[in-house]
Amino acid sequence: MNRTTISLLATVTALVAVTGVASLGDGEEDTTPAGKAREMPVERTALTCPRPTDAELATTEYTAYTPAAESSAEGRGEGRAYLLPAPEYTAGFGTDEDADSEGPEPLVALEQPGVPVAESIDTYGAPALAGTAEQLLAPGWTVQQTTSVRSGSGQGLMGTACQVPDSEFWFAGASTADARNDYVHLTNPDESPVVVDIQLYGPEGRLESALGGEGVTVPGGTSVPVRLTTLTDDPLADLAVQVTARTGRIGAQIEATDAQLGVDWLTPVSATTGPLVLPGIPADARTVRLVAYAPGDDDVALDVALSGPTGSFTPAGNESITLRSRTLTAIDLEDLTQGQPGSLVLTPSSGSGDGRVVVGLRVTQGEDDEREMAFIPATAPIEQRASVAGNTAKGTTLSLVAPDEAAEVRITVSGGSGGGDAPEPETYTVEARSTLAIAPELPDGAKGRYAITIERLGGGELYASRTLSKKQDDMVTFTVQTIPDDRSTVSVPQTGPDLSVLTD
């Protein structure tokens, strides 16, 4: 045996040993063929939460949750998940953080998957938050922020899910009208500063302004609120807003306050070219206002349908909507729900131009001085799984919509943040082109706030939202959050040892 052959055998033996250790490392037999992608749980998830409203008489509840780990997560580290303050930054003044204080205490720190953690704070002066979940606590980590404002022009219930930071966001339904007081809250979760551009679009297109909006600097680990009326002199009832980070990533949400209609968070839309689904219009909605913007070069025509409990129908007088390129359209959809819960589905018409659409709904409930508003943006579907936290024993309604084919769904309700057992998971069928409204039932002994996990088991596309309602004095306040897929897995290509190079 010559020296070359001996060296070759030694190399092959070493490679076999190395690849053998790698395949044994996860404790499972991997039968995925080489070259095929394998779904693996994410190991890190970042979230940002906007600064709560600065109303003096307000309380904010935070609820954090990560769904129970599956077998594929066995052997991973326990990890950590919590939020830290991102103090407000003012140009020329810095932040309001106390430089002499010790490190901030983590908020809603999770200890294990499947068990929600809730904390309540007095809202006045509370900062924005940013944080990270790692390892076992990362896949599907979600935090709900719900604020109850008890007095003032912004009285009502405002809610939002803390968001994954990104480089661009679109909003539909903002306003600079005299009765409105809207702020864009920018939160930078990273150490490096981020420069952000804010652009407004109205019925005549882009609003040109010398007042600012471009080049807003958000230092690392801070938040910056920007009042929309400082960006334009025009008092416009309806606006689309584009927020773009030139480098890096940010969180962005709009705090919308109306002198007559209360307050809520306006969250980003999922701006797509295909069917647009806005799930969870309450049965007792008094008004429904649609705000849409087409940012592309083509006009876009959309067919309108409402998916209700028994099927889909076309609203009389609003069979279709035409959006002119780079202009904003706002329409009041009168008598839309007719006393039944539903979801709006917008589908590109035959012969329509191509391009994304930015669309959202402003929904109101109540009458006279007891009216309140909430927003429902177009949302992304649940491809595999999604969770929503901060649910209450009374006043929680889950809306599931299958805009095309029927979908099979499993609903898992957690135990309460204050203790109590979780009920058994339940399976539902969401019939084709219909909306299914579910009010989860909790077992006796459940305390605190709880989480809901939605799993799509099969069938057509599935969209979801959750409505929270709460009686406050003589009025019922409410807020709606859409529930997109939690993106808790990533595709990892599988590779095998290629020893052909040794024999070439």
pLDDT tens sequence across 409-418: 999 999 999 9
Measured CA to CA, the distance from residue 340 to residue 284 in angstroms comes to 7
User: H-helix or E-strand containing 6?
Assistant: helix 3-24
Measured CA to CA, the distance from residue 266 to residue 255 in angstroms comes to 6
Residue 28: partners with Cβ closer than 8 Å, 6 or more residues away: 71, 72
Q: How far is CA 308 from CA 112, 377, 439, 467, in A?
A: 38, 18, 16, 16
Per-residue pLDDT, 310: 94
Under-50 pLDDT residues of the chain:
2-29, 72, 99-100
Per-residue pLDDT, 7: 45
Contact 459, 14 (CB under 8 A): no
Q: State pLDDT tens for residues 380-390.
A: 999 999 999 99
* Selection from 168, 162, 124 nearest residue 146 by Cα: 162
Tell me the two tokens of residue 52.
């709560």
Per-residue pLDDT, 97: 59
Per-residue pLDDT, 251: 98
Q: What is the DSSP string of 238-258?
A: -EEEEEEESSS-BEEEEEEEE
Arithmetic mean of pLDDT over the chain:
87
Q: Which domains does the chain have, with CATH numbers?
A: 44-266 (2.60.290.11), 276-377 (2.60.290.11)
